[in-house]
């Protein structure tokens, strides 16, 4: 075979592997404070979170997942199952809610990207969470694509309350899935990361703890707090973030958003941007005119969408 043909074949195969994150990284695990791949090398996942499934069900489809992988270069997506709010939430409609999540999970497996199954709640619903995660881990635990986020953002619960809840849900997942990553929330909307750092969950492997930031509100103080938690040995995953205020609205603070991204990249910390939705707010990346199934042009995206897409394409292309 001629050298030029061999080179072209190698380039093609490299491109194929690059476009298949799970094939490239394989079974993830936690070593020390780092998320690492099948070879033990630190890995950074970068991607998008879908908005609440019960508010924006139209984007919970295979086409949107494929577009986020192919065009936005996401290596991970987050399926955010709304628990409360309305009649379409999990508490009142568990079957339909779980099926929406399955659609995104199965599309992610097909596209060979990682997927976070997010229990998008602000309150403790232990029995319902255990039933849901028993179902999900039994069905999908054999796939290395799956990551479980068991409590999106505890708000006013204490860390002992969140810890006790989390230990019960982790035990339920581990009965079916011994090794996929589990993400654990912390009080005050995932800002009090110092609390689990002082009293982490013990007896289980492959746990990480979530921090959420909105750059116009959460600045250097939260990066410093998270650095201290990591120094104490706590593995951190940024499962929700964006550039505007914590309300999800208001102007984007470009300087702080870039400071956060530089900090995450320097620390090899994975990050997910909020959110694939079309609400009239800064953090929703889509305009109302955007199609449900992807194929979004620049004029279908709001400012946050254009910037998030640019960040993802830049940093994931560097892998």
Residue labelled with tokens 């011994």: 178
Let me know: does 239 contact 183? Beta carbons within 8 Å: yes
Q: What share of the chain is helix, strand, coil (3-state, %, to 5)?
A: 40, 20, 40
Nearest to 41 by CA among 53, 52, 27: 27
Residue 273, helix vs strand vs coil: strand
153 is catalytic: yes
**Over the range 5-33, which residues count as b (16 or more CB within 10 Å of their CB) and which as e?**
eeeeeeeeeeeeeebebbebbeebbbeeb
Q: Find the catalytic residue in 111, 149, 153, 157.
A: 153
Q: Distance between CA 74 and CA 65 in Å, rounded?
A: 9
Rounded Cα distance between 201 and 235, Å, is 12
Say how far apart CA 283 and CA 251 lie, in whole Å. Answer: 10
On whether the CB atoms of residues 37 and 67 are closer than 8 A, the answer is no
Among residues 111, 149, 240, 245, the one annotated as catalytic is: 240
Is 168 annotated in the active site?
no
Identify the DSSP state of 271.
Answer: E
| Residues noted as catalytic | 153, 240
């Amino acid at each position: 075979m001629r050298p030029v043909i061999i080179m072209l074949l190698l380039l093609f195969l490299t491109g194929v592997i690059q476009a298949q994150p799970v094939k490239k990284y394989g079974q993830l695990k936690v070593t020390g404070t780092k998320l690492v791949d099948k070879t033990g090398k630190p890995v950074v996942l970068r991607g998008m979170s879908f908005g609440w499934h019960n508010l924006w069900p139209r984007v919970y489809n295979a086409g949107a997942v494929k577009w986020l992988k192919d065009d936005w270069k996401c290596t991970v997506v987050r399926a955010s199952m709304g628990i409360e709010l309305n009649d379409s939430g999990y508490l009142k409609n568990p079957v339909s809610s779980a099926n929406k999540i399955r659609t995104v999970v199965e599309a992610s497996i097909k596209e060979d990207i990682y997927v976070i199954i997010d229990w998008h709640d602000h309150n403790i619903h232990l029995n319902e969470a255990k039933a849901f995660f028993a179902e999900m881990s039994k069905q999908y635990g054999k796939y290395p694509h799956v990551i479980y986020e068991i409590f999106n953002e505890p708000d006013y619960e204490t860390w002992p309350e969140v810890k006790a809840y989390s230990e019960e849900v982790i035990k339920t997942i581990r009965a079916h899935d011994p090794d996929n990553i589990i993400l654990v929330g912390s009080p005050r909307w995932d800002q009090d990361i110092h609390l689990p750092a002082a009293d982490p969950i013990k007896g289980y492997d492959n746990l990480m703890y979530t921090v959420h930031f909105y750059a116009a509100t959460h600045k250097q103080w939260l990066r410093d707090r998270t650095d201290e938690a990591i120094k104490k040995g706590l593995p951190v995953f940024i499962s929700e973030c964006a550039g505007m205020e914590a309300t999800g609205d208001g102007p984007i603070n470009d300087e702080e958003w870039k400071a956060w991204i530089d900090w995450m990249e320097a620390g090899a910390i994975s990050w997910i941007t909020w959110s694939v939705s079309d609400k009239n707010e800064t953090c929703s990346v889509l305009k109302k005119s955007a199609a449900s199934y992807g194929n979004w042009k620049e004029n279908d995206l709001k400012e946050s969408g254009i910037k998030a897409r640019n960040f993802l394409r830049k940093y994931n292309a560097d892998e």
